[in-house]
Amino acid sequence: MNITLSVDERIAESAREAARKMGKSLNQAVRDYLEQLAGQERQAVEWQAWEQRCLNGGGRLNGWKFDRDALHDRG
């Protein structure tokens, strides 16, 4: 997919120089950033789903129950 962006020329030049120092083109640096951004969103959604499963399951995960005493070896 091609995307057209409007960016101030000075910012584009600074970004191009920063990408060059990383051994990348500006195009590659933007693609890498978008991939990272998409991954962060996906990870946040997965964590939220996990949290809800834990909260709705009464603290049980596949039969395992949180046990404070066992955690602190007080049993």
Tokens 């910012």, residue?
11
Query: How far from chain centre, in Å, is Cα 55?
Result: 22
Whether the pLDDT of residue 58 is over 70: the answer is: no
Phi first, then psi, for residue 71 (nearest 5°) are -60, -40
Q: How confident is the model at residue 51 (pLDDT cuts 50, 70, 90)?
A: confident
Whether the pLDDT of residue 75 is over 60: the answer is: no
Give 33's contacts (C-beta < 8 A, 6+ positions apart).
none
Q: Domain residue spans in the chain? A: 9-71
CB 58 within 8 Å of CB 64: no
pLDDT over 70, % of the chain? 85
